[in-house]
Amino acid sequence: MVKIPNTFGMDVRTKVWAEYHSVDELRTLLSRYRGEQMMAVGAGSNLLFTGDYDGVLLHSAMRDTQVVSQTDTTIDIEAQAGLVMDDLVAQTVAQGLWGLENLSYIPGEVGASAVQNVGAYGVEAKDVIIAVKTIAIADGNERVFSNAECHYGYRDSIFKNQLKGQYIVTSVIYRLSKTPKPVLDYGHLRAVTGDTPTPQQVREAVTTIRRQKLPEVNEIGSAGSFFKNPVVPTEQFQALLAQYPTMPHFAVEGGVKIPAAWLIEQCGWKGKRLGGAQVYDKQPLVLVNADQATPQDVMTLAEQICQSVKTRFNITINPEVNYI
């Protein structure tokens, strides 16, 4: 059994870890291991392996970018799935391009970010993705999904639902802007950047905020936010607000979003520990591997948190992290 790289720093193993350096090599691997349990993984920054994996994990070692088309105002860049997302952001920001700067310093790779629709500071991957190139696990054929065909939602896509486990993302095409398109309305971002920043200044501001709040995955294991922020119906929100006037909230489609971090903090979980797993003290939405946590420690802690938020607020919070 081979150790599975994962940002949680969990000691979990797989029968086979196979890296591919070309789409042809990926097709060869798919044929060789046909009949086995198989899945593609990135850096493991949104995964919780609940135990060892009795199958074949495929990982892209393809990390190139190329310009596929451009106009006076936009540029379409194709990035291969194995490229570290933040390296892509750094490259595009250095060229003065707009679109990815708010996604600075998010752990993970390009392929997984398109499956998960990662987001931060008012931008989601779906806002800049125009197409996702994939290979079907069943027959090795290429299928290109348009943005609409990906059925993107909050930390969600067709690749996590109807088509789960069926396609492997090989590259993602982003449409970036050559003209200023700053998105600065999340939190205190604008206060830091002013109204007319460069993409580089937005990147620096976002990176600084993330470093203050979120654990560095190479120092403390985590998978970023462990839970999604719940959306509650307006009537339930009104009743809650009457009871908790300081409750933070954001109007969204279909109701009101309440930060899970606040709910978890109210339930007294900040900094709490169970076995080797811990609720991060600066951002309780994040569960960390404080000391040789096992998957069971993390799962039990997560269940207890969900249960107490449900009991206290009658709100169901769901993991953002994918359990494997």
Active-site positions read: 155, 225, 320
Alpha helices in 63-145 (DSSP H): 85-94, 110-116
Task: Choose which of 232, 283, 293, 301 interacts with ligand EPU (CB under 6 A).
Answer: 283
Q: Which is nearer to ligand EPU, 134 or 283 (CB)?
A: 283
- Report if residue 157 touches ligand EPU, rule: CB under 6 A: no
CA–CA separation, 246 vs 252, rounded Å? 18
Q: Among the candidate windows 5-13, 193-201, 279-287, 294-302, which touches ligand EPU by CB under 6 A?
A: 279-287
At its nearest, how many Å lie between ligand EPU and the CB of residue 229? 5
Q: Which of 175, 114, 119, 177 is nearest to 145 (CA)?
A: 114
Residues 6+ apart with CB under 8 A from 317: 227, 228, 230, 260, 263, 264, 305, 306, 309, 310
Residues 67-126 that bind ligand EPU (CB under 6 A): 120-121
Among 6, 157, 229, 289, binds ligand EPU (CB under 6 A): 229
Tell the smallest beta-carbon distance from residue 277 to ligand EPU (Å). 16
Nearer to ligand EPU, 211 or 213 (CB): 213
Q: Which residues of 228-258 are buried (b: 16+ CB within 10 A; e: fewer)?
A: bbbbbeeeebeebeeeeeebebeeeeebbbb
The set of residues, in sequence order, having a beta carbon less than 8 Å from that of 105 and lying 6+ positions away, is 86, 89, 206, 207, 210, 211
Residues 6+ apart with CB under 8 A from 254: 231
Q: What distance in Å separates the CA atoms of residue 16 and residue 42, rounded to the nearest whole number?
A: 15
* CB 62 within 8 Å of CB 168: no
Range 247-266, binding ligand EPU (CB under 6 A): 248, 259, 261-262, 265
For residue 45, the minimal CB distance to ligand EPU (Å) is 8
Q: What is the C-alpha separation between 318 and 19, in angstroms, rounded?
A: 31
Q: How many residues bind ligand EPU (CB under 6 A)?
A: 19
Pattern 287-306, ligand EPU, x by CB under 6 A: --------------------
> Quick one: 63 or 228, whose CB is closer to ligand EPU?
228
Cβ atoms of 260 and 285 within 8 Å: the answer is yes
Positive or negative: CA dihedral 297, 300, 304, 310: positive
- Based on the shown chain and the rule CB under 6 A, indicate whether residue 194 belongs to the binding site for ligand EPU: no
Question: Which residues have a Cβ under 8 Å from the Cβ of 233 and sit 6 or more positions away?
Answer: 255
Q: Pattern of binders to ligand EPU over 32-51, x per CB under 6 A?
A: --------------------
Q: Least CB distance from residue 251 to ligand EPU, whole Å?
A: 14
Q: Which of 27, 151, 181, 228 binds ligand EPU (CB under 6 A)?
A: 228
Nearest approach in angstroms of CB 285 to ligand EPU is 5
Q: Which residues contact 127 (CB under 8 A, 6 or more apart)?
A: 99
- Asked if 152 is part of the footprint of ligand EPU (rule: CB under 6 A), the reply reads no
Q: Does the footprint of ligand EPU cover residue 127 (CB under 6 A)?
A: no
Which residues sit at the interface with ligand EPU, rule CB under 6 A?
120-121, 186-187, 213-214, 224-225, 228-229, 248, 259, 261-262, 265, 283-285, 320
